[in-house]
């Protein structure tokens, strides 16, 4: 009898394991506190509570999340809205299903000694800019300031910046692109004091665009089973994000435990998580339509070479968050 009961228990456990829905998440960048909510949700059992078995795939300089999604290598990806809308216009039918980040962490960090005290001082200066989809808010900002970015007289010189701050440290540029939670601190760690810097946050300049949203293939949302899986995933992920906001140091340590490269440090991740918590604060996971429209307006207003040529249709939905948050 005992053997039968044990067999029944094993069968039940096996059935439970098989019942878990597999979800693969593709991150936009390497394992770091920028993605803490997902690692927390996994570590704290929030995904398991929803019956999900989640695989988190780090990104990197050689990983294009959209291509991974299109190729079937992930069910859902983290991406910035500008690059997602650009990909959608080019034929990739991807759609935003949730927006954990409410605010943008992007800014220009300038050496005070370069003579930049306000945006009016950009004229004639060399500015470091990230490309690969991250340049669009910058181009829109320069367009609003009436500053050419094509190297012509009276404008600015654009330096294609790698994902470091070397152009600023080596004084090849007056300003470089930084994130509040990452590259800015690379400048500080290099020995430059905050008093030696002037920073311009895109949020403060009215040119910020939405970052770090969750995207899936549009056609998959017509499958009720997939939709339900995403409802569970978003619900658990947002639970992870709110836990991370409330427990930033613990969240940073969870991220470190998942960093297989060993490249991250405790100090940097804790500092990063403190800044990330400011960006996710105020979001319940649902995309805010005015924030979306501001991003679209920025992309359409990028001067002579806008990233999108017309207002997108169907690029976001509350289909998932309406169910996940109720």
pLDDT by residue (tens digit) across 46-93? 999 999 999 999 999 889 999 999 999 999 999 999 889 999 999 999
Report, as ranges of residue numbers, the positions in the chain whose pLDDT lies below 50.
1-18
Interatomic CA distance for residues 103 and 135, integer angstroms: 17
Cβ of 146: how many Cβ atoms within 10 Å?
10
DSSP-derived secondary structure letter, 37: H
Domain chopping of the chain, boundaries:
2-102+210-324, 106-205
pLDDT at 12: 46
Q: Which two tokens stand for residue 219?
A: 């056609």
pLDDT at 19: 65
Q: Which two tokens stand for residue 137?
A: 């808010």
**Where does the chain have alpha helices with state H?**
2-19, 36-43, 46-49, 65-70, 81-89, 136-145, 166-169, 183-189, 202-205, 224-246, 248-257, 266-280, 289-300, 321-324
Interatomic CA distance for residues 303 and 306, integer angstroms: 6
Residues 321 and 95: beta-carbon distance below 8 Å: no
> How far from chain centre, in Å, is Cα 41?
17
Interatomic CA distance for residues 326 and 318, integer angstroms: 12
User: Would the CATH topology of 2-102+210-324 be identical to that of 106-205?
Assistant: yes
pLDDT at 214: 98
Interatomic CA distance for residues 140 and 77, integer angstroms: 25
pLDDT at 9: 47
pLDDT at 303: 61
Can you tell me whether residue 305 is helix, strand or coil?
Answer: coil
pLDDT at 99: 98
Report whether CATH 3.40.1710.10 matches the domain 106-205: no
Interatomic CA distance for residues 311 and 103, integer angstroms: 22
Instruction: Tell the residue number behind the tokens 């430059």, with chain if given.
Output: 192
Q: Per-residue pLDDT tens for 114-125?
A: 999 999 999 999
Cβ of 287: how many Cβ atoms within 10 Å?
22
Would you identify the CATH topology of the domain 2-102+210-324?
A: D-Maltodextrin-Binding Protein; domain 2 (3.40.190)
Interatomic CA distance for residues 107 and 290, integer angstroms: 21
């Amino acid at each position: 009898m005992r053997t039968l009961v044990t067999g029944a228990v094993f069968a039940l456990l096996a059935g439970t394991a098989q019942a878990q829905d597999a979800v693969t998440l593709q991150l936009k960048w390497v394992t770091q506190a920028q993605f803490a909510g997902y690692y927390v949700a996994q570590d704290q059992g929030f995904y398991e509570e929803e019956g999900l078995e989640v695989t988190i795939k780090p990104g990197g300089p050689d990983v294009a999340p959209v291509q991974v999604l299109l190729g079937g290598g992930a069910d859902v990806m983290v991406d910035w809205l500008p690059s997602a809308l650009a990909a959608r216009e080019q034929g990739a039918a991807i759609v935003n299903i949730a927006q954990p980040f409410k605010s943008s962490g992007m800014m220009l960090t300038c050496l005070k000694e370069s003579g930049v005290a306000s945006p009016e001082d950009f004229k004639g200066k060399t500015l470091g800019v990230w490309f690969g989809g991250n340049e669009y808010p910058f181009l829109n900002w320069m367009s609003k300031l009436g500053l050419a970015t094509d190297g012509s007289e009276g404008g600015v010189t654009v330096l294609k910046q790698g994902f470091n701050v070397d152009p600023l440290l080596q004084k090849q540029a007056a300003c470089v692109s930084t994130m509040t939670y990452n590259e800015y601190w690379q400048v500080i760690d290099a020995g430059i004091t905050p008093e030696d810097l002037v920073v311009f946050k895109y949020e403060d300049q009215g040119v910020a665009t939405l970052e770090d949203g969750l995207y899936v293939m549009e056609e998959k949302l017509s499958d009720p089973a997939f939709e339900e899986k995403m409802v569970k995933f978003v619900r658990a992920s947002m639970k992870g994000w709110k836990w991370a906001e409330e427990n930033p140091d613990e969240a940073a340590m969870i991220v470190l435990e998942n960093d297989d490269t060993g490249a991250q440090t405790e100090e940097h991740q804790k500092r990063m998580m403190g800044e990330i918590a400011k960006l996710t604060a105020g979001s319940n996971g649902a995309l805010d339509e005015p924030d979306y429209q501001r991003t679209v307006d920025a992309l359409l207003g990028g001067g002579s070479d806008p990233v999108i040529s017309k207002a997108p249709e169907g690029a976001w939905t509350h289909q998932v968050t309406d169910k996940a948050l109720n």
